[in-house]
Amino acid sequence: MHITHTIPDCRSARASLGRVAFVPTMGALHEGHLTLMRHAKSLADHVAVSIFVNPTQFGPKEDFNKYPRPIEADLARCESAGVDLVFNPTPAEMYGQQPMPVVIDLPQLTDPLEGRHRPGHFRGVCQVVAKLFNIVQPNAAIFGLKDYQQFCVLRGMVEQLNFPIEMVGHPTVREPDGLAMSSRNQYLSTDERRRALSISRALFTARDQFTEGIRQTQRLLATIQNILLPPAAATALGNSSELGRIPVSIDYVASVDARTLQPVERIEKPTLLAIAARVGATRLIDNIVITP
Ligand code: AMP
């Protein structure tokens, strides 16, 4: 496995490889990332992975400094997943000593959902992924649908800017109990983790209601909200008083067209149900697509 830290080293290692499938990550690798890497192996002769906590996609009050960076464990995981090339640059290597702002934006896709709550986030994502694409020059790139909007934005960028890269979205990888895997799950205490399970449970319950015939998204969204934030009376009666003390706040619960990300009131086409919520201090996102 080639381990590279500079752009020239990455380029020259890449030049020795044939078709490359690329998995960009911020490290703190878990089974979700590894599943993407294994899938990448089925798409091309070689697999490249970047490990880079990208400062330009974090807001000033977000967790850039405390984001986990277990680089030795990450490299071992890449090796065990059969990765051929790792690119692990520093921010200075990526942006130089005096970074100049670069703006790639697709407002139709970046404004809703995460865009409303994390201003500038997708500009940072587009900037870094465009740079990584130019450095690694992959034939295919694999992204997780856990970050569904990110995949839509990057697919839009690739289409609109004519990157010759096949974009592949991979289904969300979950823990056995349903929690979507995330590097941020390690911030959760045991009780917070149990409370966080209500996010996937809410989505699965809404999907069950849809299967039973409910098409009005207002009803599905109400179900989700009630599971995330049970009415006070219900919590008082239940045996979840310990968990009830863990603060949960909803950034959004939304139903949008799975392609355009515009709001949907009645489900007639594939529809994304998406949640962003804070459990304690940890912000988590999850989603499912339901298809009539
Ligand atoms: P990150 O390191 O969080 O930037 O994620 C790197 C890539 O892994 C992105 O394409 C994510 O969507 C993907 N990813 C993260 N968690 C999961 C998961 N639980 N299932 C599938 N893909 C994931």
Average of pLDDT values for 158-170?
Answer: 98
* pLDDT above 60: residue 236: no
Q: Which residues pair with 46 in a beta bridge?
A: 20
* pLDDT above 80: residue 237: no
| Residues classed as catalytic | 33
Q: Which residues pair with 266 in a beta bridge?
A: 216
Ligand 1 centroid to residue 33 C-alpha, Å: 6
What pLDDT sits at residue 133?
Answer: 99
Ligand 1 centroid to residue 175 C-alpha, Å: 13
What pLDDT sits at residue 142?
Answer: 98
* pLDDT above 60: residue 61: yes
What proportion of the chain, given as a percentage, has pLDDT over 90?
93
Alpha-carbon distance of 49 to 87, in angstroms, equals: 6
HSE-up of 89 (CA within 13 Å, CB side)? 21
* pLDDT above 80: residue 241: no
Closest atom of ligand 1 relative to the 173 alpha carbon: 20
What pLDDT sits at residue 99?
Answer: 87
Average of pLDDT values for 187-200?
Answer: 96
Q: Which residues pair with 287 in a beta bridge?
A: 274
Using most ligand atoms within 8 A of CB, pick from 25, 56, 149 the residue to mutate for ligand 1: 25
Ligand 1 pocket, Cβ-based, cut-off 6 angstroms: 25-26, 32-33, 36, 143-144, 146-147, 170, 172-173, 180-183
* pLDDT above 90: residue 104: yes
- In the DSSP assignment, the letter for residue 44 is S
HSE-up of 260 (CA within 13 Å, CB side)? 5
Average pLDDT taken over every residue of the chain: 95
Contacts of 153 (CB under 8 A, 6+ apart): 106, 109, 110, 122, 125, 126
Q: Which residues pair with 290 in a beta bridge?
A: 271
Residues 111-149 have pLDDT tens digits of 999 999 999 999 999 999 999 999 999 999 999 999 999
Of 239, 174, 227, the residue nearest 201 (C-alpha): 227
- Tokens coding 149: 């909007």
* pLDDT above 80: residue 3: yes
Contacts of 73 (CB under 8 A, 6+ apart): 29
Ligand 1 centroid to residue 253 C-alpha, Å: 20
Using most ligand atoms within 8 A of CB, pick from 36, 53, 165 the residue to mutate for ligand 1: 36
* pLDDT above 80: residue 289: yes
Alpha-carbon distance of 126 to 120, in angstroms, equals: 10
What pLDDT sits at residue 232?
Answer: 65
First to last CA, the chain: 44
Closest atom of ligand 1 relative to the 29 alpha carbon: 2
